[in-house]
Amino acid sequence: MKLSSGLELAYCTNVHRGETWAETFAALEKHTLPVRRRVAPGRSYAIGLRLGQRAAAELAQPATLVAFQHWLAAHDCTVFTINGFPYGSFHGTRVKEQVYAPDWSTPERVAYTMQLFELLVQLTPPGASASVSTVPASFKAFVAAEPARKKAIFENLTDCGRRIAALAEKSGRDLHLGLEPEPCCLIETTAETVDFFAEWRAGDRAVEGEGLLRHVGVNYDCCHLAIEFESAAAALDRIVGAGLRLSKLHLSSALRVKPDAAGRAALAAFVEPTYLHQVVAGDPRTGAVRRRFTDLPDALADAEPSRPDDEWRVHFHVPLHAAPGAPFSDTRDHLAEALDWLAAHPGACTHLEMETYTWEVLPPALRLPIEEQLVREYEWTLAALAARGLA
């Protein structure tokens, strides 16, 4: 929804199953419209759409696209952003590290991303700002096994940036792509993100000369950067200070726990076979990172003793509206700091998206009926924004 501060807010529909367009659209009718009626009665409502490659190709068919345009108009709904991170299946099957494939070294990732932007041009009015979020270039292990990928990644980002710029010029819309830093990926910290963009700029004059950084920037996921023990204010300052565009803010929260016997035992409920749940161990007082684990079972199997001040932060998105309960806490403090920063830097980023996609794999004690969870997340988020004069 469009807020009084000019911000756009939506929840990401990647929380729902849907790999075909028919499945995606059915979820919009079954879940999104009831949520819309409860949180935005009588006003226009924004949808943060998740489209995998198959659903995007099916929606791009002229008759299907026209039908969706009519549906949006009939329900006074808009689409300002698309989650283009997962290319293929995202629910009900093993995703793990394959969520990053195909990565930005491949032509498939470029073609898919451009199809999403072409759809956004058809779904947004002239002059609108429209964004796509995407993978953090690649998974670190992919590039370690095949170093030549990095050169291809930079070449493909230049190619895609040029195409986005041309489409923006032709359509009269502000189109921007956001690479999303994530633990254990090619860009995971804000320092690595800045270095990655600096390396791209240094190796390709087109990045600066053709203004590609207006169209290729960063999608800041609060869960991911909190896991890295970063200060939100310092991290966001670092990104914009490097001249990078903040394309979108993902409003999300992670698990945190002391890795003692009680903490490790409780974490067993969060081990599940679908998603990768990276773990970063560090000192919450100093922000110093000590160890990283690619997945939660790896951390739980590790025999090295923890230090007394260690805390584990786990890449498991937990609902925004409620604490997960002892022995856990969460990283909503990082999210709150990011919102404080946004209030102090008006216009720095206008796209906000709530993204708790883990509903299906949450332990039963944390799992409300999906529509109730989404409504409560809206209530929490709108209250947090209003407290800062942003809603």
Count CB atoms within 10 A of the CB of residue 99. Answer: 18
Query: What pLDDT, on the 0 to 100 scale, is given for residue 174?
Result: 98
In a domain, residue 321? The reply is: no
Asked if 314 and 256 touch (Cβ cutoff 8 Å), the reply is: yes
Domain count across the chain: 1
Take residue 89 and report the two structure tokens written for it. Answer: 């299946």
Beta bridge partners, 256, equal 313, 329
In a domain, residue 281? The reply is: no
Query: What pLDDT, on the 0 to 100 scale, is given for residue 370?
Result: 97
Cα–Cα distance for residue pair 350/390, rounded to 1 Å: 11
Cα–Cα distance for residue pair 224/129, rounded to 1 Å: 24
Which tens digit of pLDDT belongs to each residue from 378-391? 999 999 999 999 99
Q: In the chain, which stretches have pLDDT less than 70?
A: none
In a domain, residue 113? The reply is: yes
Residue with structure tokens 């995998």?
52
Instruction: Return the exposure string of 6-18: e unless at least 16 CB atoms fall within 10 Å of the residue's CB, then b.
Output: ebbbbbbbbbbeb
Cα–Cα distance for residue pair 231/218, rounded to 1 Å: 17
HEC profile of the chain: CECCCCCEEEEEHHHCCCCCHHHHHHHHHHHHHHHHHHHCCCCCEEEEEECCHHHHHHHCCHHHHHHHHHHHHHCCEEEEEEECCCCCCCCCCCCHHHHHCCCCCCHHHHHHHHHHHHHHHHHCCCCCEEEEEECCCCEHHHHHHCCCHHHHHHHHHHHHHHHHHHHHHHHCCEEEEEECCCCCECCCCHHHHHHHHHHHHHHCCHHHHCCHHHCEEEEEEHHHHHHCCCCHHHHHHHHHHCCCCEEEEEECCCEEECCCHHHHHHHHHHCCCCCCCCEEEEECCCCEEEEEECCHHHHHHCCCCCCCCCEEEECCCCCCCCCCCCCCEECHHHHHHHHHHHHHCCCCCCEEEECCCCHHHCCHHHCCCHHHHHHHHHHHHHHHHHCCCCC
From 373, 376, 252, select the one nearest 313 (Cα to Cα): 252
Beta bridge partners, 131, equal 81, 176
In a domain, residue 391? The reply is: no
In a domain, residue 220? The reply is: yes
Query: What pLDDT, on the 0 to 100 scale, is given for residue 5?
Result: 86
Q: Residues, the chain, total? A: 391
Threshold 0.85, pTM exceeds: yes
Query: What pLDDT, on the 0 to 100 scale, is given for residue 221?
Result: 98
Domain containing 148: what range?
A: 8-254+329-386
Query: What pLDDT, on the 0 to 100 scale, is given for residue 289?
Result: 97
In a domain, residue 172? The reply is: yes
In a domain, residue 375? The reply is: yes
CATH of the domain at 149: 3.20.20.150
Query: What pLDDT, on the 0 to 100 scale, is given for residue 97?
Result: 95
CA distances from 57 to 22, 114, 164, 243 (A): 12, 11, 18, 34
Cα–Cα distance for residue pair 381/336, rounded to 1 Å: 10
In a domain, residue 14? The reply is: yes
Which tens digit of pLDDT belongs to each residue from 78-118? 999 999 999 999 988 898 999 999 999 999 999 999 999 99
Asked if 318 and 358 touch (Cβ cutoff 8 Å), the reply is: yes
